[in-house]
Structure 1
Amino acid sequence: MDFKQLAKKESSIAFVAGGIAGAVSRTVVSPFERVKILLQVQNSTSAYNGGIFNAVGQVYKEEGIAGLFRGNGLNCIRIFPYSAVQFVIYEWCKKHIFHIDGSVGKEQLLNWQRLTAGALCGGMSVLTTYPLDLVRTRLSIQTANLSKLSKSKAKDITKPPGVWTLLMKTYKEEGGIKGLYRGVYPTSLGVVPYVAINFAVYEQLKEFMPTTDPHVANLYKLSMGAISGGVAQTLVYPFDLLRRRFQVLAMGGNELGFKYKSVSDALITIGKTEGLKGYYKGLTANLFKVIPSTAVSWLVYELVRDSMVEW
């Protein structure tokens, strides 16, 4: 097998393994993902203020099991290429920019190289899948009991549009491609450093992992994934909150209690009207989602990748 064939095979393995890892990990934590979005976009007087598990219980009571997983099908469609692109770009950066093999026991990337490669794969994954992320966020909130939104959008909530309808509606009514990428800037501000830190912390922790039997090694990988995801998300969380709010502005920002002209205006307004806690609204719910999601994602990626390499 020549170099081009080998590179193509490695990219295919990274793409498939990364996509499966993303889909499995997001499905596992889908109820917390939906509740996190509801907490992020509501104002202080809306319905979901009783804590994470109360919110999950309320969604279940109002919408059943389907409500807990609303938007997850689309999320899996989005997350497969989103996650796959990240792993493909990261592995590509290792070999073609920094000329590092990355195998255990061999020369590893330096931390600044990990951060750079992680930032590149984060940015590429956002550009590739952002319209689906925007639609998934809107699907997550349009049947929710956000009282002010429901009053003005009652008809839409009774019969919410499907994925394709919502994509076309957004494209036609909100400025074409610009509408489909509404909020991409604050999203990138959050996702790019998040992915960079996630990859850098995980790879650094992996260097400390002792050589042991596979079952114990898998527990180490779960733990390392949990730590890397938790650290990365906590550091960049305010931008993740901005990401969601900008995505739903056109759906009824006034009814939800916020309206922003720019990222800087949003940061200032949140600080004035909601205080420091406003920047971290929904963080606990998000960590309930991110920590197990990232842990499962890294473990599934490594297991699938290793299995495909052995084929």
Structure 2
Amino acid sequence: MFPSQSALQKNFVAAAPAGDVAAPPSGANLYARFAFAGAVCCSITHGAMTPVDVVKTRIQLSPEIYNKGMIGGFRQVIAAEGAGALLTGFGPTAAGYFLQGAFKFGGYEFWKKTAIDLVGLEKAKENRTAIYLVSSAIAEFFADVALCPLEATRIRLVSQPSFANGLLGGFSRILKEEGVIRGFYSGFGPILFKQVPYTMAKFVVYEKAAESIYKSIGKPKDQLSNSTVTAVNLGSGIIAGTAAAIISQPADTLLSKINKQKGAEGQSVTSRLVTMSKELGVKGLFTGLAPRIVMVATLTAGQFAIYGDIKRVLGATGGVEIAQ
């Protein structure tokens, strides 16, 4: 499932003429590699976590039925629908997060570099937290435009298993019956409310955690082994994923609820969200938090580890570092 190093190098790294040293990628070439690395890492990790996401979504949507925790939820789904039900929504998950990952990671690198060029390297280092936050927020906005239709399809398939047979069937039915805006983007507000704070927390906590770990090691990053760098990425990702999951949990619950079924004719998305929030209350908004922390911490750690490894293989090391 993960591309081999030889395949990545063959397709993305141009061979240098004999005796010459290949110039490092820059410009669009560099950001295309960042985007590809982000697309692969998000698609693999979110796709692999589909069973956890199925159970988490069921707990959020039907807490009166799925009220036995994450392990109990797995057993309930398997007993009622078979083990194959745990892969419901795998297609839209893998495809949606491939697109989202490209925009998120590639966009984050692009907007971070843009901000650094705007204010200067020294000032950027002094205000690096603000740069991390702004860059990740802008990148995530555009990533969500790409993700939202596929996320709406995934949630519909998970919440209504008989709705369609897979990605193409579900996507086509929603488009035909509900149209683009109402069918695919009714959850755009909640997805922004969920994903933008999630991504801001994810990147800033990751950057800060990695910075602290490297300081404790006492050696510059370029003097460490590849395995050590990967371990740092994993550890920082776990910390970042846990923080991001907690911050974005209420919006994740609302997103699942609003995409479960059609809204009433003439009812606005805002009024639906307000009504749902009142009905759920604080406790309801955080239903399913434990399995989501497990899922998000695991996939975030995997994302940063895979992202770093693919960047290294592709020679995409031209991003500007502003950590102290």
TM normalised by structure 2 equals 0.79
Say which of 273, 286, 289 aligns to 1:280: 286
Could you tell me how far 1:282 is from its partner in structure 2? 0.8
Say which of 141, 154, 173 aligns to 2:159: 141
In the alignment, structure 2 segments of 5+ residues that lack a partner are 1-20, 318-324
List aligned pairs for 1:240-259, cutoff 5 A: 240-250=252-262
Could you tell me how far 1:7 is from its partner in structure 2? 0.9
Map of 1:23 onto structure 2: 43
Map of 1:304 onto structure 2: 310
Map of 1:228 onto structure 2: 240
1:160 aligned onto 2:164: yes
* Distance of 1:260 and 1:12 partners within structure 2: 37
Matched residue type, 1:125: A
Could you tell me how far 1:84 is from its partner in structure 2? 1.2
Say which of 276, 279, 284 aligns to 1:269: 279
Write out per-residue CA displacement over residues 88-143 of structure 1, whole angstroms, 9 at most, x where no aligned residue.
Answer: 1111112123328999xx95861111111111111111111210110011111223
Matched residue type, 2:38: G
Q: Aligned pair in 2 of structure 1 residues 207, 260: CA closer, same or farther (>3 Å)?
A: closer
Say which of 64, 67, 72 aligns to 1:49: 67
Map of 1:153 onto structure 2: none
Map of 1:291 onto structure 2: 297
* Distance of 2:239 and 2:78 partners within structure 1: 29
Say which of 57, 82, 86 aligns to 1:37: 57
List aligned pairs for 1:102-113, cutoff 5 A: 107=125, 110-113=128-131
* Distance of 1:299 and 1:38 partners within structure 2: 29
* Distance of 2:208 and 2:61 partners within structure 1: 34
In the alignment, structure 1 segments of 5+ residues that lack a partner are 144-156, 253-258
* Distance of 2:248 and 2:184 partners within structure 1: 23
Map of 1:189 onto structure 2: 193
Q: Aligned pair in 2 of structure 1 residues 102, 213: CA closer, same or farther (>3 Å)?
A: farther
Kindly report structure 1 stretches of 4+ aligned residues shifted beyond 4 Å. 100-103, 106-109
Say which of 232, 237, 241 aligns to 2:249: 237
* Distance of 1:260 and 1:269 partners within structure 2: 14
Map of 2:230 onto structure 1: 218
Counterpart of 1:94 in 2: which secondary structure?
helix
Matched residue type, 2:206: Y
Map of 2:144 onto structure 1: 126
Matched residue type, 1:303: D
Please give the root-mean-square deviation of Cα atoms over the aligned residues, in Å.
2.8
Counterpart of 1:261 in 2: which secondary structure?
helix
Q: What's the % identity of the aligned pairs?
A: 24
* Distance of 1:102 and 1:223 partners within structure 2: 30
Could you tell me how far 1:169 is from its partner in structure 2? 2.3
* Distance of 2:263 and 2:248 partners within structure 1: 25
Map of 1:11 onto structure 2: 31
Matched residue type, 1:94: K
Q: How many residues align?
A: 281
Matched residue type, 1:60: I
Q: Aligned pair in 2 of structure 1 residues 242, 160: CA closer, same or farther (>3 Å)?
A: same
Q: Aligned pair in 2 of structure 1 residues 216, 203: CA closer, same or farther (>3 Å)?
A: same
Could you tell me how far 1:301 is from its partner in structure 2? 0.3
Matched residue type, 1:206: A
Counterpart of 1:49 in 2: which secondary structure?
coil
Does the 8 Å contact 2:38/2:307 carry over to 1?
Answer: yes
Q: Aligned pair in 2 of structure 1 residues 225, 70: CA closer, same or farther (>3 Å)?
A: same
Q: Aligned pair in 2 of structure 1 residues 193, 110: CA closer, same or farther (>3 Å)?
A: same
Choose 6-15 or 174-183, whichever is displaced more.
Answer: 174-183
Could you tell me how far 1:261 is from its partner in structure 2? 3.0
Does the 8 Å contact 2:210/2:236 carry over to 1?
Answer: yes
